[in-house]
Amino acid sequence: MLCWRPVAGVVQDKKKINLGSAPGVAVREYQTDVGPADYVLFVGRKPVGIIESKREEEGLHPTMSGGTRPPDL
């Protein structure tokens, strides 16, 4: 099982978002313009990544896209 732990951050629920609580914040079930993301990562109050989690039995399908803008958050 993969587990993400921010070095200088916290994981928060979408109902209790405080982007100033740590340098890095991951928000569970954050609403985007295309639906909720499993986690949205913020650094310095700016969105920098989206994580969609999968069940372990589905296997790993890591993807990374560079040079493209994420959906409006």
Tokens of residue 58, six digits: 């589905």
pLDDT tens, residue by residue, 2-58: 555 556 678 999 999 999 999 899 999 999 888 899 999 999 999 999 988 777 666
Spatial separation of the C-alpha atoms in residues 44 and 50, rounded to whole Å: 15
pLDDT of 70 above 90:
no
pLDDT value for 29:
93
Q: What is the 8-class DSSP label of residue 70?
A: P
For tokens 């989690």, the residue is: 53
How much is the pLDDT for 54? 72
- How many CB atoms neighbour CB 7 within 10 A? 6
Q: Which residues contact 65 (CB under 8 A, 6 or more apart)?
A: none
Closest by alpha carbon to 31, among 56, 13, 58? 13
Asked if the model's pLDDT at residue 68 lies above 90, the reply is no
